[in-house]
Amino acid sequence: MQGIESNPSKLGFLPELASNVMASFLYDKAVKPIVEPTDVASAAPQDVSSTVIRSEQLKHMVFTSLGLTGDWKQMLGDVAKPFAMMVYGLAGGGKSTFNLIFAKYLAETLNKRVLYVSGEEGLTATMKEKFERLRAYHPNIFISAGQPTSYNGYDIVFVDSVNYLHLSEEDLKVLLETNMPKGISFVLVFHSTKEGNYRGVATFEHLVDISMKVEAGVTSIGKNRFGGHGSMRVY
């Protein structure tokens, strides 16, 4: 694996190409008895998430791609929006570096409005140093020292971190179920245990579409509903 600078334009990836159809967590709910559909050709996924549909209807449903390009698409897959992603690792392993590089790419290249909830570091000198080192400043990136009362108006929200903010599984379910139907995506940051697993209940991973581990400056994909595979060195 080749080392690189922490610059989005110079990221090094080791992708294994694949593609898959989004299986949103919203479809994991219990289904109702089958009903005769009317017209679902233009229905959004959440409109039929708790209804049994005929297979012919599925081919007419439209899923909007996030629009990832190049190496990002190769590693993460053809991500559909909204999506939920978890990033976990030990302190100093590169979580914040990856998150800010990803946030800069989303804001700059894809023109997404990004909110970075900096619950752990807040609006501090260390956070400023990371933004400066990674050249992550951008008009589309907003920073909050804690959870805002509303996430309306943002495309992607980074929550750093779930553990520091003491968010339970039920808290995350409410967060995602309330905001994802509005088209808002989430990147949830977790601490790691000494054994290298994310800290918290095992069912946390069931709530997300993608899980990513960061260790010693290298990020690697675990679970991925969009088919992307590979690893990336961020420092």
Query: For 188-206, what is each residue's pLDDT tens digit?
Result: 999 876 665 675 667 788 8
User: pLDDT at position 51, please?
Assistant: 77
Spatial distance between the Cα atoms of 18 and 15, rounded to a whole number of angstroms: 9
Q: Which of 115, 202, 205 is nearest to 157 (CA)?
A: 115
Across the strands, what pairs with 118? Answer: 160
Alpha helices in 27-162 (DSSP H): 55-58, 70-76, 95-108, 125-133
Class of domain 8-20+64-233: alpha beta
As annotated, the residues of the chain forming the CATH 3.40.50.300 domain(s) are 8-20+64-233
pTM above 0.85, yes or no: no
